[in-house]
């Protein structure tokens, strides 16, 4: 039986610093992507600070995947997300699932001791 892993409590909003930390990038890149991709629509608090939703973060993951991991230009990534959003999300989710399975198997291997 697999050990139960407690899920982190999901926050409703993430600050730009938290989002930047998730991707190990500068906040300036997050601001830039926000301008470049109209699907990123952070709310603002009274001070004017950006508050990103879980959906914004998921969209950043897809943008990050397309731009940083697949090497698409911003235009290419924008086009891919507009034209073929479902396929892009499905491909991304398959990759995420495989990464999760891989890390789980590596944990099992480590617990068994080479």
Interval 44-91: pLDDT, tens: 999 999 999 988 998 898 899 889 888 999 998 888 877 766 666 667
Domains and CATH numbers, the chain: 14-84 (1.10.1660.10)
Work out the pLDDT band at 4, boundaries 50, 70, 90: low
Interval 80-92: pLDDT, tens: 877 766 666 667 6
Q: Is 65 exposed, middle or buried (0-12, 13-18, 19+ CB in 10 A)?
A: middle
Percentage above 90 pLDDT, the chain = 39
What tokens does 93 get? 């989710």
Q: Is 34 exposed, middle or buried (0-12, 13-18, 19+ CB in 10 A)?
A: buried
- Cβ neighbors of 104 (< 8 A, separation 6 or more) are 2
> Beta-strand (E) ranges in 6-79?
14-15, 43-44, 50-52
pLDDT of the residue at 55? 87
Q: Is the pLDDT of residue 109 over 90?
A: no
């Amino acid at each position: 039986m697999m050990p139960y892993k407690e899920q982190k409590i999901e926050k409703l909003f993430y600050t730009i610093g938290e989002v930047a930390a998730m991707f190990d990038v500068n906040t300036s890149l997050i601001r830039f992507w926000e301008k470049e991709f109209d699907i990123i629509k952070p709310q603002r608090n009274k001070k004017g600070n950006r508050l990103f939703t879980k959906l914004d973060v998921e969209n950043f993951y897809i943008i990050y995947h397309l731009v940083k991991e697949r090497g698409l230009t911003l235009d290419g990534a924008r086009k891919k997300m507009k034209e073929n959003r479902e396929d892009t999300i499905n491909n991304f989710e398959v990759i995420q699932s495989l990464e999760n399975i891989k890390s789980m198997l590596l944990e099992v291997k480590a617990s068994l001791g080479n």
